[in-house]
Amino acid sequence: MKTTMDPPVTLGLPLGNPGPPDDCGVCQALAHQRAEAAGRGDLSRMSDINIEIRNHHEPRRMRRRP
């Protein structure tokens, strides 16, 4: 039986807004949408767009087949 508390959770600092590459029109459009969302104070949409920009040029991992 455990009678002591677990150590506190340590979280890293949140990631900043990613900069879109200059040669990608999709990322530029997403950055424009992010600026509009920031103007409205829509932090959830800003977070979603940041994820889209970060993952847009990343190779997608393939699932393993069972």
Distance CA(17)–CA(44), nearest Å, equals 13
> Where in the chain are the domains?
29-56
**Triad 39, 45, 49: Cα angle to 5°:** 105
pLDDT value, residue 2: 75
Distance CA(53)–CA(47), nearest Å, equals 10
In tens, the pLDDT along 1-58 reads 778 898 999 998 888 898 888 899 999 999 999 999 999 999 999 999 999 999 987 6
pLDDT value, residue 63: 66
pLDDT value, residue 50: 94
pLDDT value, residue 61: 64
